[in-house]
Amino acid sequence: MTLRAVVKGVGHYLPERIVPNAEFEASLDTSDEWIRSRSGIERRHFAAEGETTSQMGAQAARAALENAGLTADDIDLIVVATSTADLTFPSAATMVQSELGMTKGFAFDVQAVCAGFVYALTNANALILAGQAKRALVIGAETFSRIMDWEDRGTCVLFGDGAGALVLEAQDGTGEKSDRGILATDLNSDGRYKDILYVDGGVSSQTTGHLRMQGKEVFRHAVEKLAATAHTSMDKAGISSDEVDWVVPHQANIRIIKGTAKKMGVSMDRVVVTVQDHGNTSAASIPLALSVAHSEGKISEGDVIVTEAIGGGLAWGSVVLRW
């Protein structure tokens, strides 16, 4: 028998405040049409004053636990993917653990920016396969509105806040691609490209900083690297493009999403797209999209799903799973 990390539940949380593109027109040289045509984004959510990443992560976790029919006492592990934790330390994950009333197990953060959820999912899967945990909450949560330069129209209109979560459970499988659960993963990074997407501040430099991005350079790397990592994971799982039911990509830019799908050989009617409603929520975007698609009845048990993401670092990767 082969151990598999199987999805038991999914949930998400979005802040109440919805910010349409038109809201930026009063302070920036931009327009709804300009933002839509370049990114596909129509609106995004911003966290309320005092609303934190860990609080949003806990809300998404509660929704995922309810969907799974489980409680916090059933969880052994929490992994939170975030680049915008509440504090330098402790981790947002331990704060979620406390918020849920969970007093056993262990919790930690993963920081790989927009690729964070793929990294978190891969780590949780490895810990389950190693016997370190039976059930895990894997959460992506971000408050990117707190690191925006509101005078930079090329970045501040692209990002939003939110959280999404999956519950994974160890189950026996056959070792075949017909198993439910995570079938294959692939992680990559290349620190030579730090300067095309980063925040110009941090603890060691004693500044807070804002997000900086060379959009054209990021786009140039994104499609090629995302398609390549997706194909690597699919090859590891023995899955062909025709067998993929849904691609659930990082929701950064509709042009990147379409370009990657084309290179993967997957039609857009099999791609989950939520970027128009949420903007780029970094590590939260994949679990958010999974939860929305599931709530809309798109994703069913047995579906083969490919997720892929790229973010600052550069860091990128993919996961193939059967729902």
* Residues 63 and 164 sit within 8 Å (Cβ to Cβ): no
Q: To 10 degrees, what angle do helices 116-129 and 285-295 make?
A: 80
> What distance in Å separates the CA atoms of residue 213 and residue 196, rounded to the nearest whole number?
5
E strand or H helix at 293: helix 285-295
> What distance in Å separates the CA atoms of residue 59 and residue 114, rounded to the nearest whole number?
20
- C-alpha neighbours within 13 Å on the C-beta side of residue 27: 10
Neighbours of 203 (CB within 10 A): 9
Q: What are the residue numbers of the active site?
A: 114, 250, 280
> What distance in Å separates the CA atoms of residue 187 and residue 313, rounded to the nearest whole number?
12
Three-state SS letters, 75-134: CCEEEEECCCCCCCCCCHHHHHHHHHCCCCCEEEEECCHHHHHHHHHHHHHHHHHCCCCC
Tokens representing 7 are 């999805």
**DSSP string computed for 215-260:** HHHHHHHHHHHHHHHHHHHHHHHT--GGG--EEEE--S-HHHHHHH
Interstrand relation of 135-143 and 77-81 (parallel, antiparallel or unpaired): parallel
